[in-house]
Structure 1
Amino acid sequence: MRRAAFGLFGLLGIVGLLPQAHAAGPSDYSILIISRERLEVATSCEIGVYINDQLAGRLFQEQSTSFNLPPGELDVRLRYLPGQVPGCQPGIENQRSTRLQLAAGQINKYRIAVDQNGLTLIRAGLGY
């Protein structure tokens, strides 16, 4: 019996010496919502959402997407994507992006619209 107790205490002592793995504390992030809910873009072509030059989402009419992102600056670019619908092959298009500043805990909502320079993001109310 003593031998088992000493073995158990020895095992607990060894486990106590091992480095502990701790989960990271609650990470702060920002929420970015991009919607194509309104019919401001009069095409049935799919629109690609690029975050820091990486394709992050695809939107058809009446859709929205959201991203949990770390706070800081990021570039968002929109472009038409080739698809199954005729006429959706992108030609020469403006490669400008929108620089957004995200703060921790903040919810940012933008809608896609078209202006004289092509696709653009317009800040939208949350509507909650």
Structure 2
Amino acid sequence: MHRSAFALMCSAFAASCLTSAVQAADYGLDQGYAVLIVSRERLQVSTQCEIGLYLQDELTARLDQGQSASFNLPPGEVTVRLATVGNKTCQPGINQLDGQRLALKAGQISRYRISQTTAGYKLIPAPPIQ
């Protein structure tokens, strides 16, 4: 009697774990993720300061010359803002810099690099890797 009750409990537990795993796998297939890669090339930006990468107005990375950061994000629009960060000479000042809106698609790898313009730092599409 005890063996059959124990076997029944083990079977029920295994079935619930299997159901959860299948649901998690289905969610990953339906939703998917987009990959965003942002790089700071050595010669693109003239400042020695780190550049802060803000996603949805939250500091998510600090990039020095030659560094890059990658993110797995849900598909859709994301707001990206760039500003110098660091000590007193690298602070961006009082003005909040305008952000860029990027449209990310599930399963797509979006590569950008940081460029310096008269309006501040901007992301420009990077050439595809071949």
TM-score, normalisation: structure 2: 0.83
Cα shift readout 1:38-61 (whole Å, capped 9, x = no counterpart): 411101100110001111111001
Q: Identity of paired residues, percent? A: 45
Which of 62, 69, 77 pairs up with 1:65? 69
Counterpart CA distance in 2 for 1:54 and 1:95 is 13
Give the match's secondary structure for 2:11.
Answer: helix
CA RMSD of aligned residues (A): 1.8
Q: Which has the higher helix share?
A: 2
Which of 47, 59, 66 pairs up with 1:43? 47
Aligned to 2:105: 103
Kindly state the Cα deviation for residue 76 of structure 1 after the two structures are TM-superposed: 0.5
Aligned to 1:112: 114
Unaligned runs of 5+ in 2: none
Partner AA of 2:69 in structure 1? T
Counterpart CA distance in 2 for 1:88 and 1:47 is 9
Kindly state the Cα deviation for residue 14 of structure 1 after the two structures are TM-superposed: 2.5
Q: Structure 1 runs of 4+ off > 4 angstroms?
A: none
Conserved? CA contact 1:35–1:63, under 8 Å: yes
Unaligned runs of 5+ in 1: 1-5
Aligned to 1:126: 128
TM-score, normalisation: structure 1: 0.84
Q: How many residues are matched?
A: 121
